[in-house]
C-alpha cells in the first residue's frame, strides 16, 4: 500500500534531513504550532508529567499503608493523597494520554492526511488541557481536596476542602477531551486518502473512533453534573442535598453515566494499540479484523448501559441492580472476543521479542486477569461482598494500569523511532518492562487477596491482620516505580545517544511506516497511494 | 446545498470573499465545508447531552415531588415566557434569512438580518431579567435561599433549583450566541462572506437554532406543565 | 481486638446463612477464571515459543478468519455469562428479601460512629449484639454523609443514605465476635469507623437485652457515662487521652487550659467552653485544627454533656 512513490521521496521542496522537529525553531514555534505531530509531542510530555505526579502520590499512599497505623502522613494528608492520585491519573493522564499524545501523532499519518480536520481546535484542546490542569492543581494550594476522585455527594458538598477548584478544573478538562474526540471523528470521516476505506484502516483507528464517540457523548453529562455540584456548594442548590429535598444517589447516577463510559475512553485506545503491536511485531495479518473493529464499537455503545453496576449496594432499586448486572455481562463478550483474536494473531506469526512486543504480552497477561476479576464484580451476590474493598482497587488497576498503561508504554516504544527519529536500547527497554511487570503483580495481586478477605478501600488505619499483605504491596510499588524510572531512562538516553531510526524499523505495513522518521511537517513528501491493507506484511515493499 | 455552491458561481468567484482560501490539509473547499459542518453537528450533540442531563434531573424530581412542582410552576409568568418563546422563534427566522442572504451574495441584507437576530436575542435577555428580578424579589430562589412564605410544599425549592439551573445555563448559551452572531456580523460587514464562503455564518446559525430549540422544550416543561 | 476470621486463603469465615450462596458464586467465578486464565496464558506461552521469529524472511499465516471458531468463542462465553448472572441473581434476591418476622434493629450512622437502637429502646454505640440463628433486619440511615455497613464474615453490605432508609438482613450461624466496617468513604476518620459485632446464643441475648434495658433505666455516674460516650460517640477517633493531637486537641490536661483560637483570641477551657464545643463545634475553633467536628446537638441529652465534661475533667 502506502508507499509514496520513490520519485517523491526526495521532493525538491524539502532539503535533506528536514522534518517536523527541525522545520521551525524556538519555543514560540512550538506554542503556536498547529502541526498535529508537535501537539502530540507536547501532549506526551504533559501527560507524562501528570503520570509522574500521580505516581508520586501513589507511592506516598503505599508508603503510609506500610504499617497499620500512622506512619508518615496524617489521616487528612492520606485522604488528600489518594484523592489527588486518583484525580490526576484519571483526568490528567489516562483519559488524555493515548488520544492526545499517540493518536494525535499517528492518526492523520495512518490515513494519509496532512493534519487533523481542525488543527487550531487541536491546539486549543492542548491549551484547555493545560488550563484545566492548572485549575485542578490549584486545589492543592487552596486547601487541598479529600473527596476521592468520585466527588460523591453529600460529602463533597460539606467538606471544607476546595472541591470547587478541582471540579471546575475537571469541567474544563472535559472540553479538551471533547475537542480531541470531535476532531478525530471529523478527520476519520473526511480526510482519509482515496483507497483508505473504513476497513482498510489500522485497528488502532477503529478503537480511536469508538473512543471519540464516547468522549463526545459522555463528557457533556459529566460537565453538567459538575456544574450542578459546584452550584450545590456555591449556592445551596439542593439537587443532591437530602435536607433540601434532593437526592445524593442521583449524583452517583449522573457521575457514573459519564465515568463508566470513561472507563472505555481509557481502555479502548489501549486495546487499539495492542492490535497494532501484535500484528506488526508478529508480522502476521490480524485474525478477525472485523470482529476486533466491531467489538470496539460494541464496547463503546454497551459502555453507556452499565453505569448502575457501580451502585449495586448504593441503595438503588433491586430491579435496577438486576438489569445492570445482566447488561454488564455483555460487556465481557466483546472484550473476550478481542483477547481470543489477539491470541489467534500470534498463532502462525513470526514473533519478534522486541520491547513493544514485551509490553503487548504483558498487556495480554494482565488484562486477562483484570477482565476475569471483573466478572466476579458483575455477579450481583459476589459484588455485595467485594464492593468497595481492595478487590475492586486491584481489579481496576489490572485493567487501567496493567491494560492501558502497558499498552501506552508499548505504543510509545513502538512509535518512538517515528516520533523522535531515534532507536533506543532494546535490551534495557525489555528489562524495564520485566521490572514493571513484576512490580505491578507484587503491588496489585496482593490487593485481590486483601479485598476478598474484607479489607475496605480508602482506609488510613487498618486491622493488624492485613499488615503483611499491605507491606508486600508497598514493596511491590517500589519495584514498579524503579521499573518506570528505568523505562524513562531508556527513552531519554535514546534522544542523546540513540542510533538514527530508519523509516520502517519494525517492518510495519500501515502508512506511518512509509514516510521518513521523523516525518516532514506535511507527513508525506508527495501524494499518498494506498496499495495494500495495513496488515499485508507479505506484500512487496514491506520487508 | 453543500456540494454545489462553489462551482455554481464559478465565473465570478475571484471577487467573492477575497480572503478565503482552502486550508492546506483539505483537498477542496467542499471537503473543508463538509468537515466544518460535521464538526458543528457533533458539537451540537454534546450540547444536547449537556441539557439532557438537566432534563433527566427535571424528570426525576418531577416524578418524586409532583404536587410541589405543579404548585411551584404557577409562580412562573406564562405571558412573559410565551413572549420570549415568540421572540426566540423570530430570531431563528431572521438567523436563517441571514444565512440565506450570505449564500445569495446579499451582504447588506445579511447585515440587517444578523442585527435583527441580535436585537431579538437582547430582547429575550431583557424579558428574562425582569422575570428573574421578580423571582428574586419574592424569594423564589433555589435551595437554601428559598424564602418565599406562601409555599404550599417545602420541595418547591427544588423546582426553583432546577428552574434557575436550566434557564441560567440556557441564558448563558444565549449570551454566547450573541457574541458569535456579533462576530459573524462584523466579518460580514468587512465583506468576508459570499456564496463562495459562508461556513461561519452557517455554523453559528446551526448553534443558534439549537439554543432556540432548547428553549422550545424548556418553556412548556417549566411554564406550562410544571 | 477487632479482627476478621478467615476460612481458607481467600474468603473470611462463613458466619451467616447468606454466606454459602455468595461463596458459591465466588467459587464458580474462581474456577471459571482459573480455567480461562490457564487456557489463554497457556496458549500465549505455547504460541510465543513455537512462532518466535527465526529469520527476517519468515512467511506468516494469512488466515484472517474462521467462522466456526469465532462463533464458538463468542457463544460459549455468552452462555457462561448468562449462567453466572443467574447465580448472582439468585444470591442477590436472597440477600435482599428479609424473612418475615425478622428482628429489627435501627442503625444510625454519623461521622464516625454507629448507633444501634433495639426495639425496647436500648441504644448501643459501636457495638452490634445479635442472637444466633435468628434473622435480623437492619433499618439504616445516615445523619450526615454516605456510609456503608459491611460485615465481611456475614457477606453483607449496604450503603446508608441521608434522608432515606436502606435495609439489609442476615442470620448469624455461630456465636462469637467479628468486625463491622464502614466501606463508603466518609472523611477524616473513615478508617476508624468500625464496630464490634457480638453473636450470642438466643437465651444469652435475651438476658443481655433485658439487663441493658434495666441499666439504661438506672443510669450511670457522670464520669462513667462520659467514658462510655467517649468511645461510643467516636470522640476517641480524633481526641486522644495521651496528649498526642489528632484531628482535634487531646483531652489530656485539657480542662483549665488557655487555648489560642483560630481567630487569634484565647479562651479558657471551662464547663461552658466544653459544652459549646460539643454542641456547636465550629464556634470557637482551636488554632491549628481543621473544622471537621460534627455537631452533637440533638443527640446528647444534658446529662450526657455533663457526663462528657466530667470525663474530660478527669483526664489530668
- Mind listing the pLDDT tens digit for each residue in C177-204? 999 999 999 999 999 999 999 999 999 9
In whole angstroms, give the CA distance from residue C18 to residue C156.
8
Chains near C, with 3+ CB pairs < 8 A?
A: A
pLDDT in tens, B65-82: 888 888 888 888 889 899
Which among C76, C88, C148 is the top mutation candidate for probing chain A, defined by the most A β-carbons within 10 Å of its own β-carbon?
C88
A219, A231, A245 member nearest B46 (Cβ): A219
Averaged over A106-133, what is the pLDDT? 95
Round the average pLDDT of chain A to a whole number and report it: 91
Round the average pLDDT of chain C to a whole number and report it: 89
Which among A67, A380, A386 is the top mutation candidate for probing chain C, defined by the most C β-carbons within 10 Å of its own β-carbon?
A380
CA distance C114 to chain A (A): 17
Q: What per-residue confidence (pLDDT) applies to A7?
A: 35
pLDDT in tens, B97-132: 999 999 998 889 999 999 999 999 999 999 999 988
**Is the CB of A228 less than 8 angstroms away from the CB of B57?**
yes
Say if residue A13's pLDDT is above 60.
no
Q: What per-residue confidence (pLDDT) applies to C257?
A: 85
CA distance A18 to chain C (A): 30
In whole angstroms, give the CA distance from residue A72 to residue C122.
41
CA distance C171 to chain A (A): 16
In whole angstroms, give the CA distance from residue A67 to residue A57.
17
Chain A residues with beta carbon closer than 8 angstroms to that of B45? 216-217
Q: What is the pTM of this model?
A: 0.88
**Is the CB of A216 less than 8 angstroms away from the CB of B46?**
yes
CA distance A518 to chain B (A): 19
Q: Is A18 on the interface with C (CB under 8 A)?
A: no
Q: Is B61 on the interface with A (CB under 8 A)?
A: yes
C54, C59, C157 member nearest A313 (Cβ): C157
**Is the CB of B39 less than 8 angstroms away from the CB of A182?**
yes
Q: Is B79 on the interface with A (CB under 8 A)?
A: no
Say if residue A84's pLDDT is above 60.
yes
CA distance A28 to chain C (A): 44
CA distance A109 to chain C (A): 25
Give, as one character, the DSSP assignment of residue A379. Answer: S
Q: What per-residue confidence (pLDDT) applies to C266?
A: 86
**Is the CB of A186 less than 8 angstroms away from the CB of B38?**
yes
Q: Is B35 on the interface with A (CB under 8 A)?
A: yes
**Is the CB of C78 less than 8 angstroms away from the CB of A333?**
yes
Q: Is A134 on the interface with C (CB under 8 A)?
A: no
pLDDT in tens, C145-175: 999 999 999 999 999 999 889 999 999 999 9
**Is the CB of B157 less than 8 angstroms away from the CB of A245?**
yes
Q: Name which residue leads in pLDDT, A157 or B4.
A: A157
Closest CA to C110 of C158, C155, C149: C149
| Residues A115, A121, A123, A127, Cα dihedral to 10° | -160
Size of interface A-C (CB pairs under 8 A): 278
Q: What per-residue confidence (pLDDT) applies to A500?
A: 92
In whole angstroms, give the CA distance from residue C58 to residue C56.
6
Confidence of residue C1 (pLDDT cuts 50, 70, 90): low
In whole angstroms, give the CA distance from residue A503 to residue A373.
41
Say if residue A293's pLDDT is above 70.
yes
Say if residue A327's pLDDT is above 60.
yes
Chain B residues with beta carbon closer than 8 angstroms to that of A237? 142-143, 161, 164-165
Interface predicted TM-score of the whole assembly (ipTM), two decimals: 0.90
CA distance C120 to chain A (A): 27
Q: What per-residue confidence (pLDDT) applies to C215?
A: 79
Q: What per-residue confidence (pLDDT) applies to B28?
A: 83
Per-residue HEC secondary structure of B24-38 comes to CCCCCHHHHHHHHHH
Q: What per-residue confidence (pLDDT) applies to B14?
A: 59
Q: A213 — phi, psi (to 5°)?
A: -60, -45
Q: A313 — phi, psi (to 5°)?
A: -110, 20
pLDDT in tens, A409-422: 999 999 999 999 99
Which among A224, A225, A240, A528 is the top mutation candidate for probing chain B, defined by the most B β-carbons within 10 Å of its own β-carbon?
A224
Indicate the burial class of B181 (C-beta count within 10 angstroms; 0-12, 13-18, 19 or more).
buried
pLDDT in tens, C264-284: 888 888 888 888 888 888 888
CA distance B114 to chain A (A): 26
Q: Report the 10 Å Cβ neighbour count for A241.
A: 24
In whole angstroms, give the CA distance from residue C110 to residue C88.
31
Q: What per-residue confidence (pLDDT) applies to A479?
A: 97
Whether residue A82 has a cis bond before it, omega within 30° of 0:
no
In whole angstroms, give the CA distance from residue A507 to residue A401.
28
CA distance B144 to chain A (A): 5
What is the Rg, in whole angstroms, of the alpha carbon atoms belonging to chain B? 21
**Is the CB of A246 less than 8 angstroms away from the CB of B158?**
yes
Q: What per-residue confidence (pLDDT) applies to A295?
A: 93
Of the listed ranges A185-194, A229-238, A321-330, C64-73, the one predicted with least confidence: A229-238
Closest CA to A203 of A407, A430, A418: A407
Chain C residues with beta carbon closer than 8 angstroms to that of A375? 29, 32-33, 81, 84
Say if residue A431's pLDDT is above 80.
yes
**Is the CB of A118 less than 8 angstroms away from the CB of B39?**
yes
Averaged over C23-36, what is the pLDDT? 95
Which among A243, A323, A350, A378 is the top mutation candidate for probing chain C, defined by the most C β-carbons within 10 Å of its own β-carbon?
A350
**Which residue is closest to B155 within chain A, CA to CA?**
A245
Strands C156-160 and C6-7: unpaired
Residue pair A411/A105 in contact (Cβ under 8 Å)? The answer is no
Q: Is B123 on the interface with A (CB under 8 A)?
A: no
Q: What per-residue confidence (pLDDT) applies to A281?
A: 95
Q: Which ranges constitute the DSSP H helices of chain B?
A: 5-8, 29-64, 66-73, 78-103, 107-138, 156-189, 199-218
Chain A residues with beta carbon closer than 8 angstroms to that of B31? 190-191
Q: What per-residue confidence (pLDDT) applies to A4?
A: 39
CA distance C178 to chain A (A): 12
Chain B residues with beta carbon closer than 8 angstroms to that of A115? 24-25
Chain B residues with beta carbon closer than 8 angstroms to that of A119? 23, 25
The three cell numbers locating residue C118? 433495639
DSSP output for chain C:
-----EETTTEEP--BTTHHHHHHHHHHHHHHHHHHHHHHHHHHHHHHHHTB---TTPPPP-----HHHHHHHHHHHHHHHHHHHHHHHHHHHHHHSPPTTPEEEEEEEETTEEEEE-TTS-EEESEEEEETTS-EEEEEEESSS-EEEEEGGGTEEEEE-BTS-EEEEE-B-S-EEEEEEE-S--STTGGG--EEEEEE-HHHHHHHHHHHHHHHHH---HHHHHHHHHHHTTGGGTB-SSS-B-SS--STT-TT-EEEBTTS-EEE--HHHHHHHHHSTTTTPBTTS-S-PPP-TTTS-HHHHHHHHHHHHH--
**Is the CB of B144 less than 8 angstroms away from the CB of A185?**
no
**Which residue is closest to A326 within chain C, CA to CA?**
C85
C22, C36, C64 member nearest A384 (Cβ): C22
Chain A residues with beta carbon closer than 8 angstroms to that of C189? 75
Residues of chain B with pLDDT under 50: 1-11
Closest CA to A250 of C70, C81, B53, C256: B53
Chain A residues with beta carbon closer than 8 angstroms to that of C96? 318
Contact: chain C with chain B (3+ CB pairs below 8 Å): no
Residue pair B185/B115 in contact (Cβ under 8 Å)? The answer is yes
Amino acid at each position: 500500500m502506502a508507499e509514496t512513490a520513490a520519485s517523491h521521496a526526495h521532493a525538491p521542496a524539502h532539503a535533506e534531513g528536514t522534518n517536523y522537529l527541525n522545520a521551525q525553531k524556538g519555543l514560540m514555534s512550538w506554542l503556536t504550532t498547529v502541526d498535529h505531530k508537535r501537539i502530540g509531542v507536547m501532549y506526551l510530555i504533559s501527560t507524562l508529567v501528570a503520570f509522574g505526579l500521580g505516581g508520586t502520590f501513589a507511592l506516598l499512599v503505599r508508603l503510609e499503608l506500610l504499617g497499620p497505623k500512622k506512619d508518615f502522613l496524617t489521616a487528612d494528608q492520606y485522604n488528600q493523597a489518594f484523592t489527588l492520585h486518583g484525580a490526576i491519573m484519571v483526568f490528567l493522564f489516562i483519559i488524555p494520554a493515548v488520544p492526545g499524545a499517540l493518536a494525535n501523532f499517528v492518526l492523520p499519518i495512518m490515513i494519509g492526511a496532512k493534519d487533523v480536520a481542525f488543527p487550531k481546535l487541536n491546539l486549543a484542546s492542548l491549551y484547555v488541557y493545560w488550563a484545566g490542569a492548572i485549575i485542578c492543581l490549584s486545589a492543592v494550594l487552596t486547601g487541598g481536596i479529600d473527596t476521592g476522585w468520585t466527588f460523591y455527594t453529600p460529602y463533597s458538598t460539606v467538606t471544607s476542602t476546595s472541591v470547587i477548584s478541582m471540579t471546575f478544573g475537571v469541567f474544563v478538562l472535559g472540553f479538551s477531551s471533547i475537542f480531541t474526540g470531535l476532531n478525530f471523528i471529523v478527520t476519520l470521516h473526511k480526510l482519509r486518502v482515496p483507497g483508505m476505506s473504513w476497513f482498510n484502516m489500522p485497528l488502532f483507528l477503529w478503537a480511536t473512533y469508538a473512543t471519540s464517540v464516547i468522549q463526545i457523548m459522555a463528557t457533556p453529562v459529566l460537565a453538567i453534573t459538575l456544574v450542578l455540584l459546584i452550584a450545590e456548594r456555591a449556592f445551596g442548590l439542593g439537587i443532591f442535598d437530602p435536607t433540601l429535598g434532593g437526592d445524593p444517589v442521583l449524583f452517583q447516577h449522573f457521575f457514573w453515566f459519564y465515568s463508566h463510559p470513561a472507563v472505555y475512553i481509557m481502555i479502548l485506545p489501549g486495546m487499539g494499540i495492542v492490535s497494532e503491536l501484535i500484528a506488526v511485531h508478529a508480522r502476521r495479518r490480524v485474525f478477525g479484523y472485523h470482529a476486533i473493529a466491531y467489538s470496539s464499537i460494541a464496547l463503546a455503545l454497551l459502555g453507556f448501559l452499565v453505569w448502575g453496576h457501580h451502585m449495586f449496594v448504593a441503595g438503588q432499586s433491586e430491579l435496577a441492580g438486576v438489569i445492570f448486572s445482566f447488561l454488564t455481562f455483555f460487556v465481557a463478550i466483546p472484550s473476550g472476543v478481542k483477547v481470543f483474536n489477539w491470541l489467534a494473531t500470534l498463532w502462525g506469526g513470526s514473533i519478534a521479542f522486541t520491547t513493544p512486543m514485551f509490553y503487548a504480552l504483558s498487556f495480554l497477561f494482565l488484562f486477562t486477569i483484570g477482565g476475569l476479576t471483573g466478572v466476579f464484580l458483575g455477579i450481583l451476590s459476589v459484588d455485595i461482598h467485594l464492593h468497595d474493598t481492595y478487590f475492586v482497587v486491584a481489579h481496576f488497576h489490572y485493567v487501567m494500569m496493567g491494560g492501558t498503561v502497558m499498552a501506552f508504554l508499548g505504543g510509545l516504544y513502538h512509535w518512538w523511532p517515528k516520533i523522535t527519529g531515534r532507536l533506543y536500547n532494546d535490551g534495557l527497554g525489555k528489562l524495564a518492562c520485566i521490572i514493571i511487570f513484576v512490580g505491578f503483580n507484587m503491588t496489585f495481586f496482593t490487593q485481590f487477596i486483601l479485598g476478598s478477605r474484607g479489607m475496605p478501600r480508602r482506609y488510613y488505619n487498618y486491622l493488624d491482620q492485613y499488615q503483611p499483605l499491605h507491606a508486600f504491596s508497598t514493596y511491590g510499588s517500589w519495584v514498579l516505580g524503579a521499573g518506570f524510572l528505568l523505562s524513562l531512562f531508556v527513552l531519554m538516553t535514546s534522544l542523546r545517544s540513540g542510533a538514527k531510526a530508519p523509516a520502517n524499523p519494525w517492518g510495519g505495513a500501515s502508512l506511518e511506516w512509509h514516510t521518513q522518521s521523523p516525518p516532514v511537517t506535511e507527513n508525506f513528501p508527495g501524494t499518498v497511494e494506498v496499495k495494500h491493507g495495513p496488515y499485508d506484511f507479505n506484500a512487496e515493499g514491506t520487508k | 446545498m453543500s456540494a454545489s455552491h462553489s462551482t455554481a458561481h464559478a465565473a465570478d468567484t475571484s471577487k467573492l470573499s477575497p480572503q478565503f482560501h482552502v486550508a492546506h490539509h483539505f483537498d477542496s473547499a467542499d471537503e473543508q465545508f463538509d468537515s466544518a459542518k460535521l464538526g458543528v453537528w457533533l458539537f451540537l450533540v454534546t450540547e444536547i447531552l449537556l441539557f439532557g442531563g438537566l432534563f433527566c434531573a427535571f424528570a426525576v424530581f418531577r416524578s418524586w415531588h409532583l404536587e410541589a412542582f405543579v404548585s411551584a410552576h404557577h409562580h412562573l409568568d406564562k405571558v412573559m415566557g410565551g413572549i420570549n418563546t415568540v421572540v426566540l422563534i423570530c430570531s431563528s427566522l431572521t438567523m436563517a434569512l441571514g444565512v440565506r442572504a450570505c449564500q445569495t451574495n446579499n451582504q447588506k441584507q445579511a447585515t440587517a438580518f444578523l442585527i435583527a437576530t441580535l436585537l431579538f436575542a437582547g430582547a429575550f435577555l431583557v424579558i428574562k431579567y425582569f422575570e428573574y428580578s421578580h423571582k428574586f424579589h419574592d424569594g423564589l430562589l433555589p435551595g437554601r435561599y428559598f424564602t418565599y412564605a406562601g409555599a404550599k410544599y417545602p420541595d418547591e425549592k427544588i423546582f426553583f433549583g432546577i428552574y434557575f439551573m436550566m434557564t441560567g445555563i440556557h441564558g448563558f448559551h444565549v449570551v454566547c450566541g450573541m457574541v458569535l452572531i456579533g462576530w459573524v456580523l462584523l466579518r460580514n460587514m468587512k465583506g468576508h462572506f459570499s456564496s463562495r464562503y459562508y461556513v461561519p455564518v452557517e455554523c453559528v446559525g446551526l448553534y443558534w437554532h439549537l439554543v432556540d430549540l432548547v428553549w422550545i422544550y424548556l418553556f412548556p416543561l417549566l411554564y406550562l406543565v410544571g | 481486638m477487632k479482627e476478621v476470621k478467615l476460612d481458607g486463603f481467600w474468603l473470611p469465615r462463613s458466619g451467616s446463612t447468606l454466606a454459602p450462596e455468595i461463596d458459591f458464586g465466588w467459587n464458580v467465578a474462581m474456577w471459571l477464571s482459573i480455567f480461562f486464565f490457564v487456557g489463554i496464558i497457556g496458549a500465549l506461552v505455547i504460541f510465543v515459543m513455537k512462532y518466535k521469529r527465526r529469520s527476517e524472511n519468515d512467511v506468516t499465516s494469512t488466515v484472517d478468519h474462521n467462522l466456526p471458531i469465532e462463533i464458538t468463542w463468542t457463544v460459549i462465553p455468552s452462555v457462561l455469562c448468562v449462567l453466572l448472572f443467574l447465580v448472582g441473581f439468585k444470591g442477590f434476591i436472597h440477600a435482599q428479601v428479609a424473612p418475615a418476622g425478622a428482628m429489627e434493629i435501627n442503625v444510625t450512622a454519623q461521622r464516625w460512629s454507629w448507633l444501634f437502637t433495639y426495639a425496647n429502646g436500648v441504644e448501643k454505640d459501636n457495638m452490634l449484639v445479635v442472637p444466633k440463628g435468628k434473622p435480623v433486619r437492619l433499618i439504616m440511615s445516615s445523619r450526615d454523609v454516605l456510609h456503608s455497613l459491611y460485615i465481611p464474615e456475614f457477606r453483607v453490605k449496604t450503603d446508608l443514605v441521608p434522608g432515606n432508609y436502606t435495609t439489609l438482613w442476615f442470620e448469624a450461624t455461630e456465636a462469637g465476635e467479628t468486625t463491622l466496617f464502614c466501606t463508603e468513604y466518609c472523611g477524616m476518620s473513615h478508617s476508624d469507623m468500625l464496630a464490634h459485632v457480638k453473636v450470642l446464643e438466643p437465651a444469652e441475648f435475651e438476658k443481655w437485652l433485658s439487663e441493658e434495658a434495666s441499666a439504661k433505666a438506672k443510669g450511670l455516674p457522670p464520669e462513667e457515662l462520659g467514658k462510655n460516650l467517649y468511645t461510643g460517640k467516636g470522640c476517641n477517633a480524633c481526641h486522644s487521652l495521651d496528649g498526642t493531637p489528632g484531628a482535634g486537641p487531646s483531652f489530656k490536661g485539657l480542662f483549665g487550659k488557655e487555648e489560642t483560637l483560630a481567630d487569634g483570641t484565647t479562651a479558657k477551657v471551662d464547663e461552658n467552653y466544653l459544652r459549646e464545643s460539643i454542641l456547636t463545634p465550629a464556634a470557637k475553633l482551636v488554632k491549628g485544627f481543621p473544622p471537621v467536628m460534627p455537631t452533637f446537638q440533638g443527640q446528647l441529652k444534658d446529662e450526657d454533656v455533663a457526663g462528657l465534661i466530667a470525663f474530660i475533667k478527669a483526664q489530668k
